[in-house]
């Protein structure tokens, strides 16, 4: 499984549609301070299910919608689409390519889809859980995260190892079954 493409409209500093293509191997994103490098990783974490505005470096979810500039009007919504190559069936879906989309309006309304079929946020979170790309995964290490991991309580740190080992899904299912 690898990341093939990231498309966004109205996400943070990206007012217009941007289309980033990745190829297998290493991709480096370079640019001056404040040019939007971290916004790219924020977009990836958001479409994969991030629900904390703070961890996306804002105070409320609306902060991820392009807020306008001297020359541009603000946007009414933010949308991110991530395309993954799934030839190796790293994601448990019978498709060679998997596309997930998330959109949020200023009203707070959200839309989610997997391969253009409307779904719930939970479906996206479940799809990526234990894939190594999940919401709790170790695959995206943002600025400050290393420190956070080192300073976290053993119980919280354990979640990171459980996701890496692929057992988080089963633990959550067990907890859900027990609560019924």
Q: Are 12 and 6 in contact (CB under 8 A)?
A: no
**How far, rounded to the nearest angstrom, does the alpha carbon of residue 84 sit from its chain's CA centroid?**
12
Bridge partners, 13 (sequence order):
none
One of 1, 18, 20, 38 touching Mg ion (CB under 5 A): 38
Nearer to ligand ATP, 37 or 157 (CB): 37
Tell me how far apart the alpha carbons of residues 12 and 134 are, in angstroms, rounded to a whole number: 22
- 157's CB contacts (< 8 A; 6+ apart) are 149
Binding mask 6-35 for ligand ATP (x = CB under 6 A): ------xx-----------------x-xxx
Q: 111 near 102, Cβ under 8 Å?
A: yes
Q: Contact with ligand ATP (CB under 6 A): which of 65, 82, 91, 100? A: 65
86 assigned to a ligand binding site:
no
Say if strands 117-119 and 110-114 run parallel, antiparallel, or are unpaired: antiparallel
Nearest distance, CB of residue 82 and ligand ATP, angstroms: 17
Q: How far is the CB of 104 from ligand ATP (least distance, A)?
A: 11
From the CB of 69, what's the least distance to ligand ATP, in Å? Answer: 7
Angle, CA 128 vertex, CA 127 and CA 131 arms, to 5°: 120
Known binding residue 38? Answer is yes
Which tokens sit at 166? 């692929």
| Number of residues binding to Mg ion, judged by CB under 5 A | 2
Residues in the site for Mg ion, rule: CB under 5 A? 37-38
Query: Contact positions toward ligand ATP, by CB under 6 A?
Result: 12-13, 31, 33-39, 63-67
Instruction: Please give the annotated binding residues, written as ranges.
Output: 32-39
Residues annotated within a binding site for ATP:
32-39
């Amino acid at each position: 499984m690898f990341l093939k493409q990231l498309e966004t409209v109205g996400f943070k500093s990206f007012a217009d549609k941007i289309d980033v293509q990745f190829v297998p191997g290493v991709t480096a994103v370079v640019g001056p301070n404040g040019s939007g490098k971290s916004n790219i990783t924020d977009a990836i974490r958001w479409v994969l299910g991030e629900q904390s505005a703070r961890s996306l470096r804002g105070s409320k979810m609306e902060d991820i919608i392009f807020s306008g500039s001297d020359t541009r009007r603000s946007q009414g919504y933010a949308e991110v689409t991530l395309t993954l190559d799934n030839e190796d069936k790293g994601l448990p879906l019978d498709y060679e390519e998997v596309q997930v989309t998330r959109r949020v309006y200023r009203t707070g309304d959200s839309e989610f889809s997997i391969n253009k079929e409307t779904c719930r946020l939970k479906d996206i979170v479940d799809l990526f859980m234990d894939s190594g790309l999940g919401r709790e995964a170790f695959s995206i290490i943002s600025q400050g995260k290393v420190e956070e991991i080192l300073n976290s309580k053993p119980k919280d740190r354990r979640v990171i190892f459980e996701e890496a080992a692929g057992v988080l899904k089963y633990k959550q299912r067990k907890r859900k079954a027990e609560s019924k």
